[in-house]
Structure 1
Amino acid sequence: MGRRFEVRRCVATRRLLCTHSSGTGSSTTAPASRTSRHRPPPGNLRVADILDSVNPAGREWRPQSLALAWHRLARHSRRTSTKDERHELTAVAQRLGVAHEAFGVDDFTPRQLADIIWACGKLRVWRGKLFADLDAHLPGALQRFNAHDLASTVYGLALSGKATASLMYTVCGQLQLMISEFKGQEIANSLYALALLRFRNEE
């Protein structure tokens, strides 16, 4: 029963977020829930409507669903323009941040972790146990990152403004080892991130 509930809630959240990102409605009916009867038609969804599908306790979340929710929310943030929209966006991000208390760095794949760091940088949200553990656990995880994951991580760290010098030295060391695998956009994003931090690796 618990597994079925988790799948239903996360699928509903993903559909809401995807609909919001595209800005279009969907003829597909979301799985029933205790709040679905009160939801407006998909074409009229607001960020606030996602709140009903985001349980801050985190017990119904899986790492993959949580990473996807962060990524979709960050992409949607490009469309927010009013103060109310930004406030609603922050409210959803805060709930996702609370959900992270149930997870650590090792619970996520490299791609999931990179997407979360990128999204939190875009949203300027940096809180909770997951992020407090980055200095201790991210250096070991970086060896499993591909070029795309590493570039997204550097970019997110730069936007967050929370990267420590020791973490950036480790990240730069990995960048040097993998630079030949980077595509043009990944190189540009990494250079922008380092410039934003005014970081120089003098080792």
Structure 2
Amino acid sequence: MTNKDKEKNIFFITVVVIIAIGYAVLRYHLKGDVPWKDFPIFVLNKGVSLGAITILTLCVSIRPLSTLGIVVFSTRAAKKLLGISGLLMTILHVLLSLLILNPSYFNVFFEENGTLSARGGISLLAGVISFMMLVVYHQCFKNGGVGKERLVNFLTSSKFILGLLLLFGLHLFFLGYHNWMNFANWKGGLPPITLVSFVVISLGVLINVFKR
């Protein structure tokens, strides 16, 4: 990957992140009533999660997209850059979420007595498992996958990729499905970030199912 290509790829990733965070700001602050004091953690986390989902979905869809004639991040170095960016954003999302994992911000995750609800447990479990899968995926390719050919074949198989995407979707579904069809809660007419992210995941699933 040339320096020019690297700059283009970094620019693309940066634009995705800016758009994702910008959407969160527009929906929650400018069109909604969330106070600006919640931007550094709560709202920023929303944008980071959308950016991470978008980047990771693209990362695992590069090969099937190429069969459609859409060639992006085609070199090994470019794919690595995209994957690392997605992983880092996911780590940031996890850390930010841990800071505000309480009934005030995630009331659907908790019962009245303060314990986790079944819905919250399922969403968090799916999130934890998918995060661990991402870490394993990254570690496996850290040195180019040398000596790990069988594991590499599994991690790049449709079963693993679809399993990862479905876990992403499960995490998002139980986190926000209650607001998806409640249009009165669409701040400024803008759909919830969990729904937008779920649509992105769904597109990734469709691409990987039919073109892998």
**What is the TM-score of this pair, normalised by structure 2?**
0.28
- Normalised TM-score (structure 1): 0.29
Higher relative contact order (CA 8 A, sep 6+): 2
